[in-house]
Amino acid sequence: MLRTFTLWLVGVLSVLLALELLCRVLPVSTSTDTGYYTDPVILTYPPRHQWVAATGWDLRNAQHLTANNLGYAAHRDFVRDARAVALIGDSFVEASMLPAPDRPGKQLEHWLGSRPVYAMGSPGTSLLDYAERIRYAHEKLGVRDFVILMERGDVAQSLCGSGHVNGPCLDPITLAPLMKTLLPAGMVKRLLRHSALAQYLVSQLRVTPAGLGALFKPASPPQPVAAKASVITTSEELRIVDRVTQVFFARIKPHVQGRLIIVLDSDRSVLYSGKSISDEGRERFMQLANEAGATVIDTQPIFAAHVANSALKLEVGPYDQHLNPLAIGLISQAASKALGGL
């Protein structure tokens, strides 16, 4: 019995070792080891950190990335320079699935011509996190002009508990400002970061501890489906938009001493379908942002004009709704024009 168990264990360990070695050869997404390295409420990579990013089980769009001197996946180091433009956003700005020349920072710099662009993208963040990067870029780097590339969900995701907050957020009930920084990784997680097989399971296959646990639980009997209530009413949505926008502009006011350009993504799936778009929360945000002195670039007419004349899509792929190089080029030209670069 003991010999059988030993042989079984050796076999399992041999298979795991072989898979580990295979994953180390392939461009599996590697650990990013993010943390609060440059600022107490701004999450970045370790400066000069090198890592691999890829999509899906078949490792599509694999890219090898290196963080700059301040921990961002950017094409240049950030030094104090009043001529610089800070490009701020989440994974849409980092664009780790694209080659470096195709990413927003590089494309915007190309269209601006003579001005350096500091691409300060941080995945999994939202509008109030962007305010902290504006503060940092102004205080530490002397930046006066800013371009924000916003996802459609960046306002609502500024509520605490959204899963898209690295620091500042608003209480989802009272809308009072709070600070919710992320806890450091535990020992088990830190150890697993060194395993290429573990990274493949988590990053490529999206396996979670909860998902693994469900495999070993007995199936539950089907439960009656209750009528679904609306997640959020229009009046509640507008209340959130009003409050998040108010807090955002109050926080950035001392730090934007030049131009603030906000590029707002649109529902591209609706554009492809040819239907009309109605989004009261989005319209309210654009109105409030314009009133606060920002220049808002609505991508809806820009993308609609493209869709009307071309069959080429604007996404990386059906498996990845991030903007592709074509879409980034369109908005980079628009942002450059708004900054006086064209």
Per-residue pLDDT of the chain (342 residues; tens, 9 = 90+): 788 888 888 888 898 889 989 999 999 999 999 999 999 999 999 999 999 999 999 999 999 999 999 999 999 999 999 999 999 999 999 999 999 999 999 999 999 998 999 999 999 999 999 999 999 999 999 999 999 999 999 999 999 999 999 999 999 999 999 999 999 888 888 888 889 999 999 999 988 765 555 544 555 554 544 444 445 678 999 999 999 999 999 999 999 999 999 999 999 999 999 887 789 999 999 999 999 999 999 999 999 999 999 999 999 999 999 999 999 999 999 999 999 865
Q: Residues near 147 by Cβ (< 8 Å), separated by ≥ 6?
A: 85, 86, 87, 88, 108, 261, 262, 263, 335, 339
Q: Token pair of 37, please?
A: 């390295």
Amino acid at 101: P
- The pTM is what? 0.91
User: Residues 338, 294: contact at Cβ < 8 Å?
Assistant: no
Q: Residues near 102 by Cβ (< 8 Å), separated by ≥ 6?
A: 95, 325, 328
Question: What's the farthest any 2 CA atoms get from each other in the chain?
Answer: 78
Query: What pLDDT is recorded for position 186?
Result: 86
Amino acid at 295: T
Where do we find the tokens 């590697």? Answer: 30
| Element holding 263 (H helix, E strand) | strand 260-264
Q: Under CATH, which number does the domain 28-208+233-337 receive?
A: 3.40.50.1110
| Element holding 145 (H helix, E strand) | strand 145-150
